Structure 1
């Protein structure tokens, strides 16, 4: 946690501290690194790299074509300065739910958020919390069908799909949205009563070219809609990929015992590809001039993201072999007799430690996913509920100060932790409480 917070690369320091843990436990050093750490890291890359890569390319193409900016600008204009906070939250939510990466959303929405907050005289320090609510919470992992990686990872462990537990996810999403909006509006009213406005002397103030023409809003929304539609049709609809190949062929030639564990990834790979091609056609002339540089940037970003997370997964798999982990695992599993509550606790704790939603959840499910599934099945609990609680919990305490998305968001807006982290943390608390409320409610009934 200390080195991650100081900005040191996880790719380098995860294996270093893995080996330190192995040495302190008196186990075999090199086999732990090459056979446990690297094997599990490589398996993670094999499973999820296509999603990371295609997701990054889709977000970049939406940015280069001007489609992302068109959506943000149209929503902000439609709702106006009187509903500035709601406008920014909805702009982020639509882009995130459509499959655009969180970082691209922050870059695309910030210029319009700054303009409308300045017009409404709302403190700039509230912008990071507002973007966090729209991009980092309910559309990332709560609403069914979200193509974000946090909603896809559990499918590999529970044999579910992106639409798992739709009612629970929708209820949770509404609770997070409502709670977050109440907090942000309360903070806005407090600032207004104190006579605090947008403020002066800010850095990274964006300049919007009023004459720049963006693609039509409905055309810009088309790639997002196609990603969602194709993802549904290929997951649960008439074209479901689970029926494309003979189960015996998959088992014999590809060692796929249960096609459901890979079907969601297959569906999303095709859906994102359709989205990318559509986004390219929106403004092909403009995209062509910067396509090579854009694809390079997207690929580098995807590589960094996947290898950061894979290193954390490798770290977790080595740690679970150490003698001391049995005690920690016993404490987590014994914290509640109900698997959903225990799972929510494990994912939240590990997401907080790693500062990564996908990393924390991946470690928790790699280490204890099979046990949770066995306990849930014995208790008659649907794997879909395990999926939704794990996914939502990953977006809870992950946004501690050392989280990469938080640091990037503050850098984009030109603000500091001291100025804006209080609101980000409040949104984090709202999300975390919502997950535990839902888990406890299910455990009671």
Structure 2
């Protein structure tokens, strides 16, 4: 049995190492999957075609529209100048004395409005660099500041956020994106305050040592704001539409779940519980409305870049979902192997509290895969139904399971091999050695917050 556990650990280790070295996950994941099956004495071809590919395809079927529309919305916001306008206005309004707070809020507004993390980093960086230089704050603190605003509480803690990490649990727990709103808001406040305090502490440390913005940096942006940008209020309007219509179509009298007859859905489309897909449907419609609004915002500018912008968005969404689906396929093959039973029991026995156990599982898998959505998907595919049954036995709501799982996914996923971390450092022209410590601290702060909430929730069960 030890060798069968070692087979899984070896496969996971190879997945981390090869992904960190830059090898494409789409190719690496099936290879390490087959290695795990071979070392476990399993059946290679059936495991690949009937387990790996079936679950990968199921994941793509469920989430591709959201990946695609989210990428298009972010790209349209970028090429219209709306994303840059929002970032510029917030940063300049608060000024250099509150440079860190300004950058965090700019990232938060864009991420919560549905713009992808990568677009946010590109849009905010020029203004962050300008205001940090003006305030003489070390450039090395920019990645940690952007990470706090874009990679933490707006990604999966605040209720209603349209990021994929808040959508995935809806398919497993029958919840919507507004699940456990009070818990999410409390967690977001804790993360926000803790993150700001840490970054300000780092700024003061640098000030005491006489360290300023620094010189000789690479990837320095051109002077931000030279191009005429759209009006701030017009720019933020598409974000408001996405958030607003997502809520309306999720929880109001005109919710998408009331658009179709339940009998027709069951008979013609085999949808027995419309609640499991209501969140996806509502976000699809909300994003389409947001895309149209963003296109009308600056139609002349968008027209010039629409073809290349849509192509880039489509390619980006394909790469993102196939990477995640590959990790989901890997996880589902691993759960069929003999050694996984022991690993699974170890995770389950980490705590008798299902919320804590779930947080451990999601965090560990997100860290292993270097992907919040990948780790979350694997954990819920493998153990979601178990946690749901266990929670119902002890009186924990599916909404709490949703919020804890979602928040836990954005903790240890930001290990050095995480794609978003690598991209953020590349955009800012900094290295892991210079800036990774702050990224790690603000995301670990989020992990600690999740466990505090999970333990606290048990006191009121």
Counterpart selection for 1:278 from 286, 293, 309:
293
State whether structure 2 residue 230 is matched by structure 1 residue 194.
no
Please list every run of 5 or more consecutive structure 1 residues that lacks an aligned counterpart in the other structure: none
Which residue matches 1:372?
387
Counterpart selection for 2:234 from 219, 230, 242:
219
State the Cα distance separating 1:429 from its structure 2 match: 1.2
Which residue matches 2:268?
253
Which residue matches 2:102?
87
Query: What CA deviation, in whole Å up to 9, does each residue of 1:397-421 have, x standing for no partner?
Result: 0000000000000000000000000
Which residue matches 2:13?
none
Q: Partners of 1:79 and 1:255 in 2: how far apart?
A: 52
Counterpart selection for 1:16 from 31, 39, 55:
31
Query: What CA deviation, in whole Å up to 9, does each residue of 1:31-58 have, x standing for no partner?
Result: 0000000000000000000000000000
Which residue matches 2:365?
350
Query: What CA deviation, in whole Å up to 9, does each residue of 1:272-301 have, x standing for no partner?
Result: 000000000010000001100000000000
Which residue matches 2:399?
384
Please tell me the root mean square deviation across aligned C-alpha atoms, in Å. 0.6
Equivalent residues in 2 for 1:21-420 (5 A)? 21-208=36-223, 210-420=225-435
Q: Partners of 2:253 and 2:21 in 1: how far apart?
A: 49
Q: Partners of 1:61 and 1:233 in 2: how far apart?
A: 23
Query: What CA deviation, in whole Å up to 9, does each residue of 1:191-228 have, x standing for no partner?
Result: 00000000000000000254411000000000000000
Query: What CA deviation, in whole Å up to 9, does each residue of 1:368-394 have, x standing for no partner?
Result: 000000001111110000000000000
Q: Partners of 2:153 and 2:226 in 1: how far apart?
A: 34
Q: Partners of 2:226 and 2:141 in 1: how far apart?
A: 28
Q: Partners of 2:73 and 2:212 in 1: how far apart?
A: 37
Q: Secondary structure at the match of 1:245?
A: coil
State whether structure 2 residue 434 is matched by structure 1 residue 427.
no
Q: Partners of 2:305 and 2:239 in 1: how far apart?
A: 21
TM-score, L = length of structure 2: 0.96
Q: Partners of 2:143 and 2:149 in 1: how far apart?
A: 10
Q: Partners of 1:331 and 1:16 in 2: how far apart?
A: 26
Q: Partners of 1:244 and 1:336 in 2: how far apart?
A: 42
Q: Partners of 2:291 and 2:29 in 1: how far apart?
A: 33
Q: Partners of 2:262 and 2:225 in 1: how far apart?
A: 56
Q: Partners of 2:459 and 2:431 in 1: how far apart?
A: 42
Please list every run of 5 or more consecutive structure 2 residues that lacks an aligned counterpart in the other structure: 1-15
State the Cα distance separating 1:253 from its structure 2 match: 1.3
Q: Secondary structure at the match of 1:289?
A: helix
Q: Partners of 1:111 and 1:419 in 2: how far apart?
A: 19
Q: Partners of 1:208 and 1:215 in 2: how far apart?
A: 17
Q: Partners of 2:151 and 2:172 in 1: how far apart?
A: 23
Higher mean C-alpha displacement, 210-219 vs 33-42: 210-219
Residues 127 and 224 of structure 2 are in contact (CA less than 8 Å); yes or no, is this contact kept in structure 1?
no
TM-score, L = length of structure 1: 0.99
State the Cα distance separating 1:105 from its structure 2 match: 0.1
Q: Partners of 2:294 and 2:256 in 1: how far apart?
A: 24
State the Cα distance separating 1:341 from its structure 2 match: 0.4
Q: Partners of 1:104 and 1:98 in 2: how far apart?
A: 12
Higher mean C-alpha displacement, 243-252 vs 323-332: 243-252
Q: Partners of 1:244 and 1:378 in 2: how far apart?
A: 33
Q: Partners of 1:76 and 1:88 in 2: how far apart?
A: 6
Q: Secondary structure at the match of 1:162?
A: coil
State the Cα distance separating 1:110 from its structure 2 match: 0.1
State the Cα distance separating 1:432 from its structure 2 match: 0.4
Residues 249 and 256 of structure 2 are in contact (CA less than 8 Å); yes or no, is this contact kept in structure 1?
yes
